[in-house]
Structure 1
Amino acid sequence: MKQRIIAFLSLLFIVFTTGAAISMLYIAYTTTELKKIITLHGIEILRQDLIIKIQNVEQDLLTVHTELGKNLDKIVLNVTDLDNAINNCRGCHHSPLITQKLGQIKSNIERFETSLSHYITASADADRIRAIKIEAYTTGAELMSVTSEMAFIANKRLQERTSKALTGVKSAQWILAVTLAVAFLIALWIAITLINNILRPINELIAVSQNITSGNLGYTTSYTDNTEFGSLADSINEMSLSLREGNEKVVQHMNRLAGLYKVTLPFHSVSNITEIFREVSSSVASLLDVEQCGLMLQDAAQQYIEHKHPAHGLSEQEVSSIRIPKKTVLELYYANNRRPLLINDPQAENFPRELLGPAAGNVRNLLVGWIRLQGELVGLLRLANKRDTDFSEESIRLIGIISNNISVALENTKLYEDLKAQMQELKETQEQLIQAAKLAAIGELASNVAHEINNPLTSIMGYAELIREETDLESIMKDIDIISKESIRARNIVQQLLEFARRRPLEVKEVAVNNLLKETVSLVRVQLKDARIKITEQYGNLPVIMGDPNQLKQVFLNILNNAVHSMTDGNRELSITSSTDNSAVHIAITDTGHGIPADVLPRIFEPFFTTKKEKGTGLGLSITYKIIQSHRGRIDVRSEIGKGTTFTIVLPVQPVANGLAHSRL
């Protein structure tokens, strides 16, 4: 484009220079003609002066010796001036005709001067003087005639020169105008051409940039030329193609990463090893587009590497036939520098033929990734028959990443199995602890229960003795009714105790908290009476909640037992209140015992922490806390030394079955 602009500007310069040169030539020519016209005008003035002088001499000659005549000196002076004028005229450059006429005038002037001289000096008779005068006058008339003829010729030539000069000026004007018009048109054409030559590639390049900006990578322009715009278009085309190629590589890489993520994510969420075999074989086969894929792991004796089922593209019978000594696999592993094994021509390469499987002749290519646990080789990932092409270095990188993830997944599975065993053991231990806490609570209730059972038994025994002595059937039947009622009462007491003490699975159902509180209070009522504790119960109108009634009863019983033990002297009062704020149920149990010290309060829910020394297990409040947590509730404690303690239990109204279902209590 730079060369094109220079060429156009050069053309414009040549046009202007040519027009200017032509105009200058015409102007120079016209100037020369004008100078000649000016010169001719000067000559014409001399000629007019010559004619005037001739006329003056003739007039002087006619008026001499008259009143109007001048003196002879003046006539002589005019003749001298006439001679000088003709000499001046002859000194100029004239055409041959004018030069001839000037010669004639010079000759006539000389004759005229001779005649005047004769006339002035004559002293003969009057006829002779008259004849000389007539001769002088005749010579002057001839001189006047020749001068007039010469003036006519000169004037005509002056007019021709003037007309020619004016024509030259007009021609110069036209040439200049045409030159300017042509230069303007050429300049306009050059401008339009340059604009088109500049705008077209610019528009093409803008279109390319807009397409690239909108995401149409690889878009190219067909614009080509040998200017800088052509080079720029070629560069942008190369850039666009490079961007598309780079974008395709990025997309391919992202697809591989997405595929890897999709493949490896399930590995870490599957806890069953059989599911890992299935996930690995199907997902890796899909990612790398192979016909066969599966895991091979060492056997229990660590002597062989065996193919596991399920596997992609292989039946269970085919899988069972692929079995390689671990020693052979280790030799292959170290011989390949621990890198994945790539075989694109199984017939030409040396490796354990067992890797090919039962249909060895149908295996076109093979890729093996190594499975390691804690640095030790425990198996391999086998892929065979990649569709449409051979395995590549990219396949090696992918299989290396996948193999590492499989190793982690297998190790996680082993850890999960160990964790399951430990969790089962922990669950059994927790259940034993809960049962121990229950038995401890039952032990504290034993005397109260015995007292409760003793009262109906005493009544039964008394009425049994009366029956022996009575003979009235009606009285006997009344006594029997009383015995039956007391027996039922004793049975209910024992059933409540057994219901609480029984080891049973978690049971989530609707719970009426007020009824549960009343049943728990009935279990400790005798204990409260013996300890001379006054109990106050205020139950609000509560909604039904979801929970395990047996666990919640254990919570209430643990707190009530602790309250009874804390009130050994002074004012002994126990307060139980229940309320709701529509989103949760609040149960507050307040005693007037000795209180909990501030340094002890943060630790009361720690397992095995107790202030009762040999009398306590330190599990009651710890289990209470965990039960409330499993119900997605909370328990708050406020205590003041010498004034008492308040336990506030908050249980949500919303169902908590899912939370309880995973509870290990």
Structure 2
Amino acid sequence: MSGMKASSKEGRLMETLERLLELPAADLRQSLNQASELLLGALDAEKVDVFLFDPARKTLNAIGTSNTPLGRLQRSLGLDAQPVANGGSIADVFKTGDPHITGHADQVPGELPGVVHELGIRSHMAVALVIDGERRGVVSAQSTKPAFFSDDDLRFLGAVSHWIGAVTHRAELVEQVTSAALAQGRRQAAEELITVLAHDLRNYLAPLMSRLELLRRRAELDGRPDDLRDLDRATYSIERLGQLVSDLLDVGRLEQGLFEIAPASMDLAALARDTAQALGTPSVDVRVEGPAELTAVADKARLRQALENLVSNAIKHSPAGKSVLIRLSSELLTDKEHVHIDVVDHGAGVPPELLPRIFDRFVTGGNAAGVGLGLYLASRIAAAHGATLTVNSPPDGGATFRLSLPASGPPERLDEV
């Protein structure tokens, strides 16, 4: 028995396709629910599902399901999520790409017991769902009546599945554009807020440093060494806060094209030793390996800023008792001497999903503190020097950030910083 209406197969196909094209560019779930309802009416089925594969969980999820008693029962039983490893006809169609049709699902070897016994499905047909040239899911129609669907119904489902793939792709693109616009808006708001905050903080830091200097003079005159040590620590903390404010303001300068460097001959080894001494902590020390002297042409202040951000990031992710290593080296690349500054930590490593965005603004990993600007600024300082900043984080943990710059200095003209 065919589930098709009395009208011609071609006419019903065209009517369904036209109605699919008329679906608004809504969110993905709404679009697929509407597509399922259209197919339900065209096939007189009791349930239609559009399954999409979730690679993280290796599960086929019914993102679109017709709003019928059978569809609601499926959701209440948890059968709208089917692990591919559990088998069943829907998983087989997804794995092989071959269509499936039966009028006696209870006699199909390997069919999911919940489909047969809990839902009472007898007639079932399914085809692979291809989205933008990739098999991404399954379109399925079911009925509790035996021998309900015909081969014509299966061909109809196959034809319509191509259009459902197009609808799915369109909905995904709309979601991506909407998400990107939302992220852009949030980023712009964050940049404006942080820039204003940085200016306000700088206004407070200058008088605070003046007051600390006054207290220092009094402590020196009165011979209070304990107070002098505490003032040294407080002054260092204020200086670090001042550096954070400078980092925040540098983000604005980068966006406005006002970020400049003043290259000159300098000793990278001395810079590494100074940084190690300044940033090492009682729980995480910073070591330096490499030549006693390594000369390059660079902006010392900016390079210090980049190196301090890299080392601070490494310390932040290092467990107590482990050290951070600054390793210096040089080599010939394309007939030019390049110097390398490697910052190595023994932390948990960079999560794989974070690697492509690790040098973006306001990106932080896990529960790490900070606003996510240090690595971004380090990467832009590297770019201003005609250098590269890369990261290597193996699966077994740890991370190595490599700043590699031409020893002779940056190119005379850089199109973009």
TM interval, short-chain normalised: 0.3 to 0.5
Structure number with larger C-alpha Rg: 1
RCO higher in 1 or 2 (8 Å CA, sep ≥ 6)?
A: 2
Q: Select the structure that is richer in strand.
A: 2
Please, what TM-score do these two structures have when normalized by structure 1?
A: 0.26
